[in-house]
Structure formats: structure tokens, C-alpha cells
Amino acid sequence: MTITTGADAEAEACRYLQKQKLQLVARNFRCRLGEIDLIMRQQQRLIFIEVKYRKQSAFGHAEEMVSTSKQQKIIATAQLFLASHSEFQQFDCRFDVVAMAYDAQQQLSINWIQDAFAAH
């Protein structure tokens, strides 16, 4: 698959993570506080995932694009998700980033950063 949009990147990240045995819970969860690209489950753990895509890494890596303010929005959105989905309230939670970019040979590189940041 060739990635040309953020939606393509999210779809590719979802497929990649499902191959790693994660189960999709929600995609593009939006609320007044923000958006979470993917929410996935791994046994009794809920994983909130920010997907970042860059056409190339020459101008910085995709994972560097998750600022502190973006992290705070994701955490607040995750808290709202948990408040409205009581079936997950006893789960451990984790915040991951999936960063994607094409290398010089036009091969897609996927960097799954587990525990990329934490709720304070």
C-alpha cells in the first residue's frame, strides 16, 4: 500500500498492530478535547495510539511531531474515553506512537514506540 494521506497511514498502522496481536477498539475517537487515532487492546491493557506520517525523514522524524501539548490533549481525550466506556475502566493504559516514513529506497519504515509518554 502506498501512503498518501493521514487516513492511509492510520489504516497501515492498524494493520501492522493487528499483526502484532492487538485488537482494534476504536478508530479516530473524537471529542471536544481532541482526537485519538487508534485505540487498541492487548489483553487487559488499553493502548491509545498516535499515528504520525512523514513522506521522508530528511526534515525530522515523525515521532518528533508529538509535542507536549499534543500529548496532553491525547491524555485528556483518553480520560474522557475511559469515563464513557466503563468496560475498560479497570484496564491498564499505555500511550504509544506509531511513526512512519519512507526511506531513501522508498521502503516504508514503521517505528512503534511503546510507552511513548505517560499521563502525569
Mean of the pLDDT values across residues 92-113?
89
The structural domain count of the chain equals 1
Q: Grade residue 81 by pLDDT with cuts at 50, 70 and 90.
A: very high
Q: Is residue 86 part of a domain?
A: yes
The set of long-range contacts for 85-91, using a CB threshold of 8 Å and a minimum separation of 24, is 88/25, 88/41, 88/46, 90/44, 91/41, 91/44, 91/45, 91/46
Q: Is residue 51 part of a domain?
A: yes
Q: Read off the pTM.
A: 0.90
Separation CA 78–CA 110 (nearest Å)? 24
Q: Is residue 105 part of a domain?
A: yes
Q: Is residue 1 part of a domain?
A: no
pLDDT at 75 (0 to 100): 95
Judged against a pLDDT cut of 60, whether residue 58 lies above it is answered with no
Question: For 23-55, how does the pLDDT look when each residue is reduced to its tens digit (9 = 90+)?
Answer: 999 999 999 999 999 999 999 999 999 999 877
The parent domain of residue 66 ranges over 6-117
**Beta pairing, strands 45-56 & 92-102:** parallel
Question: For 106-119, how does the pLDDT look when each residue is reduced to its tens digit (9 = 90+)?
Answer: 888 899 999 999 87
Q: Is residue 76 part of a domain?
A: yes
| 67: its cell numbers | 509535542
**Terminal C-alpha separation, the chain:** 37
